[in-house]
Structure 1
Amino acid sequence: METKDELLSHGKADAALEFLRDEGCGIAVEINEKTLVRKIDWMIMPLMWAAYNLQYLDKVLINYASVMGLLEDTNMRTNQFSNLALAFYVTYLVFELPTGCLMQRLPTAKYLGVNVILWGLMTTLNCSAKNFGGLMTLRVLLGCFESAIAPALILITSMWYKRNEQPTRMGIWYIGTGTASIMGALVAYGLLFYTNHVFKSWQIMFLIFGLITIVVGVCICIFMPDNPMKSKLTHDEKVFAIERLRENLTGIENKHFKWCQFFEVFKDPLTYLIALIVTAMDVPNAAVSSFTSLIIENIGFTTKETELLNVPNGVVSIISILVVTNIASRYDQRCLSVIIALAGGLLGSCLLAFSPKSLKAAQLAGNYLTQMTGSALPLMY
């Protein structure tokens, strides 16, 4: 095993270690940790929330569009709509490994920002799609570019925060799934009153959120630092931000791929257990996020009622995420938090599957409770 000096001489050391060697590790003024953490929060958390909010919103816009005339205007069958949802997740899965490799070698925030811009462009182009083939192409590309979001935000969070601070911060940017549901539902409802026939209401929805996403991507490229060493913090703040993360024992950033670490992952039983748990959570979560509007409409509501009834989905998601991440962070009880979230989701699925169709309230409650399943995901990160 190479020593610290050998790693530094070969340029293989962690970027934080190289910074301390080159810039010095002395702190001239006293740094208040709470003040510094608050400063870091305001520097990166709004952009992280915005990115995850738009990531979730852009991929589920077809959910709202499905009851706004998308299927009729593109002559699409229901099974083809299901294939659109499937195509996104297949592409997302396939590109996880390549995007992870690129992220390790490229500036993290810049790489994320470029991907946000590109998936914003794909979202915008949905307004010009005329048939299933065009929509399928855009969904495939959307999955490709959105595959960068989760690993990028997890990596950025680990660069800036201690282990006990991470569940809460991940919860903050992950509530973007809930806020996205609320925003999407309200905008979709408002656009249903649009009467001009130059553009369809669903086309305007894709255009609005696609352009907003592009703007956010540009802001990430400009304002989000790639790591603490390249941030606008003072020298003393940078040193303190690095030193306080020593207890994580993970380093901050290293652009050199290590095969020994790659193979070590596959030797750890926890890798397979976590993969199994996440897969079990993601399957129902993906189904719910893509078909909520159709589910609510089939319960027996009008199109406008359906869009409005999507709002509580976001509210339930936000509340459950905040509750389980706070339990995990404050009491160090991740397993208990995951069980609570999944139990709520299971109850919701049972209500949807087994309650009589005449009991609309029970089916709606089941639909809303299924949103709790996704709240367990940030705890697995």
Structure 2
Amino acid sequence: MIMPLMWCCYVAQYLDKTLINYAAVMGLYEDANITKADFSNLAWIFYVSYLAFEFPHGYGMQRFPTAKYLGIMVVCWGAIVTVTAACHSYAGLITTRVLLGCFESAVAPSLMLITTMWYKKNEQPPRTGIWYLGTGTGTIIGSLLSYAFQHVNSASLYSWQILFLVVGLLTICIGITVTLIFPDNPMTSRLSHQEKIWAIERLRENQTGIENKHFKSNQVAECFMDPQTWLLSLITISSSVPNGAVSSFQATLIKGFGYDSKQTALLQIPGGACSVVSILIATYLAGKFDQRGLNVVTLLIPGILGGALMAFLPEDNKAGKLIGNYLTNCIGASLPLMYSWVGANYAGHTKKVTMNAILLISFCLGNIIGPLTFRAEDAPEYIPAKITII
């Protein structure tokens, strides 16, 4: 049950934070009376609170059982998504986006820690890739739900409100399940005594430890003084800028190519498929050949090509622009490699928690920059934003 539940958590996390992407073409602008500038703010403000809570969550995971902590956070952000269905104004929407970022920022570091507790170094990239598939599968699920709910007519709720309500309730169910049945570590699992010993013994070669609830300040200092920390941080920031742009504005970009709202929903599915395929290939190769850096560089190439196609092809070349949009989804596959890089190279529980927080803060910075490149005066083509992706 470990991998399926980790995947469910990441699907919920990615789907919930990108629901505004689908809502943008389902009438959110008109129903909540917001402008394009307001929408851009809704996209990046999420990552500000996400960033602000990385270190508090790191401390919380150090002090409390990791799986229980994760489950409670999933329930909390599921409740926020559900409440978003009742929002009718910019003020309400931006409040829920801030709160959503506060709770969702716990999921990636939690899953990174859990992965290192159960799997050997060479097993970590493909296992990280499996739960990180939640990005691509979340896109596919969100697109299908958006298309379906656009056909629902209700006198009391708009279609985008129904989308938030249903997805929020499903997220709460996932959080409750994680809290009740997910083991915090091998020693507290339902394995037999002999199986627990074997689960821990097989990780001896990692030389990174499993779990320690004592906060060690010397490991924090060691993490900050390690040059590798800041190189990984810089790579994560630069590769996250396109992710921030595409995850919140993919529907807006595709609709800008000349498609209607229902077509836009379905045309996002291939982007999710590109993400799934690139993650599977990259994490498999990283695990097989123990080579993460080369894979990260390789994944940036289709992203650069995709940004160029969107920015420089003629306006009437819809197919080429769509292909470019899909190719930018490959960049996101570099992040699970960064996650597993930390799990493999950082020894000591406090040091891993600290580096996880730094990596996620770097991820947030890139995702804050991405939406800010989408300015109202550049609509509907958003050429400067597409050039930024390159």
Say yes or no: TM over 0.5. Answer: yes
Q: Which of 365, 368, 371 is matched with 2:323 structurally?
A: 365
SS at match of 1:254: coil
Structure 1 segment 134-283 matched on structure 2, within 5 A: 134-283=92-241
> What corresponds to 2:291 in structure 1?
333
Counterpart of 1:92 (choices 32, 50, 75) is 50
Deviation at 1:352, TM superposition (A): 1.1
Name the CA distance, whole Å, in 2 between partners of 1:46 and 1:175. 11
Deviation at 1:234, TM superposition (A): 0.3
Q: Within 2, Cα distance between the matches of 1:103 and 1:115?
A: 11
Amino acid at match of 1:138: T
Partner of 2:30: 72
Structure 2: distance between partners of 1:256 and 1:88:
31
CA distance in 2, matches of 1:161, 1:332: 14
CA RMSD of aligned residues (A): 0.7
How far is the alpha carbon of 1:340 from its aligned partner?
A: 1.7
Can you give the 5+ residue segments of structure 2 that lack an aligned partner in the other structure? 340-390
Please give the alpha-carbon distance, in whole angstroms, between the structure 2 residues aligned to 1:337 and 1:227.
30
Cα deviations across residues 289-319 of structure 1 (Å, max 9, x unaligned)? 0000000000100111100101111100000
Higher relative contact order (CA 8 A, sep 6+): 2
User: What CA distance in whole angstroms lies between the structure 2 residues aligned with 1:141 and 1:336?
Assistant: 37
- Match among 308, 318, 322 for residue 350 of structure 1: 308
Q: Please, what TM-score do these two structures have when normalized by structure 1? A: 0.88
Distance apart, 1:197 and its partner CA: 2.3
Q: CA deviation at 1:198?
A: 1.9
The letter for the 1-side match of 2:92 is G
Amino acid in the other structure paired with 2:325: N
Percent sequence identity over aligned pairs: 56
**Equivalent AA in structure 2 for residue 133 of structure 1:** A
TM-aligned CA deviation for residue 157 of structure 1: 0.2
Equivalenced residue count is 339
Deviation at residue 346 of structure 1 after TM alignment: 1.1
Question: Based on CA coordinates, which of the two structures has the bigger radius of gyration?
Answer: 1
Ranges in structure 1 where 5+ consecutive residues have no aligned partner: 1-42
In the aligned structure 1, how far is the partner of 2:276 from the partner of 2:239? Answer: 17
Deviation, 1:196, is: 2.4
Which range moved further: 278-287 or 234-243? 278-287
Q: Alpha-carbon deviations, 1:104-136, whole Å to 9, x = none?
A: 101100000000000000000110001000000
**C-alpha displacement of 1:356:** 1.3
Q: 1:376 aligns with which of 334, 352, 361?
A: 334
CA distance in 1, matches of 2:146, 2:155: 16
- Give the Cα separation in 1 of the matches to 2:103 and 2:163: 20
Give the TM-score, by structure 2 length: 0.86
